[in-house]
Amino acid sequence: MHISIARNILYLPLAIFYTILSIPLFFINLCISKKKYTKMQMLSAENERSWRLDAIGDFIVAGDRVLDVGCGNGKFGEAIAKKFNADVRGVDVVNYANSDIQIDLYDGHSLPFENDSFDVIVMAFMLHHVKHQDKIFSEAIRCSRRGIIVFEDTYFTPWQWLFTIWNDFYSNMAVGTIKIVKGMEGKGIWGMPLPFTFRSVKGWHEYFAEKSLNIKETSLRHSNIKPHSKVIFLLEK
């Protein structure tokens, strides 16, 4: 998996531009009406969930038991349940649930389930929120019967790595604060751990190999203008 030379070069000035732009955008979004901002956020979240569901393909089938680790508000797990007719529940270390699936709090280290309790475990943009990646990932392997789906932000250059860190902070703390001020979410988002433990695609591949997992598919998604790259791994035990 790679990034084109042209995109790689262009991402440096774009990283600087978007970092600077995000400051006034924070205050502009604070001033936007709750109704308009909510509509913007709902559209963005819906587009994101649609992309994620398409990326999963047929990895999840009807009747599967699925665990969404680090499920956040639970909306993605809810979407999985509806699209695939799956039995989905979630766990997280902070509580800002806002969905119809069952969500439990856990300690962030050990999943409170027996071995092979779920057919598939989903870890959507949560591994970079934990310092102890190996511990929680080993737990996911233990509790999954068939496989694991990992969504992550990734990088290909030092400047994209730095922007990815900034983007993660801004998306969680700054945008989260706006949502709290507008009464769209609870203050639980402020408790989100941000150790920024990102890896490159190559780094993830090496890690999965150490865990003896078969990588069924790796898919990259680059933003058109924003210097942001996302990767999806479909992993089989």
* Percent of the chain with pLDDT strictly greater than 90: 82
Domain residue ranges of the chain, discontinuous segments joined by +: 5-236
Q: Which residues contact 25 (CB under 8 A, 6 or more apart)?
A: none
The whole-number pLDDT of residue 160 equals 95
b/e code 87-124 from CB counts within 10 Å (16+ = b): bbbbbbbbebbebebebeebebeebebeeebbbbbbbb
Mean pLDDT across the chain: 93
pTM of this prediction?
Answer: 0.92
Q: Is pLDDT at 214 greater than 70 in this prediction? A: yes
pLDDT at position 5, please? Answer: 83
Q: State how far the Cα of 10 lies from the Cα of 46, in Å rounded to an integer.
A: 28
pLDDT digits (tens, 9 = 90+) for 29-67: 999 999 999 999 999 989 999 999 999 999 999 999 999
pLDDT in tens, 104-115: 999 989 999 999
- Taking CA atoms, 59 is separated from 34, 90, 92, 233, in Å, by 37, 18, 23, 11
Q: Which pLDDT value is given to residue 94? A: 78
Greater confidence, 2 or 35? 35
Q: Tell me, what's the pLDDT at 1? A: 65
pLDDT tens readout for residues 66-79: 999 999 889 999 99
Length of the chain measured in residues: 237
- 5-236 to CATH, choices 3.40.50.10300, 3.40.50.150, 3.10.20.340, 3.40.50.1370: 3.40.50.150
Q: φ, ψ for residue 109 (rounded to 5)?
A: -115, -50
Using a pLDDT cut of 70, give the percent of the chain over it.
Answer: 99
Confidence of residue 189 (pLDDT cuts 50, 70, 90): confident
What 3-state DSSP class applies to 17? helix
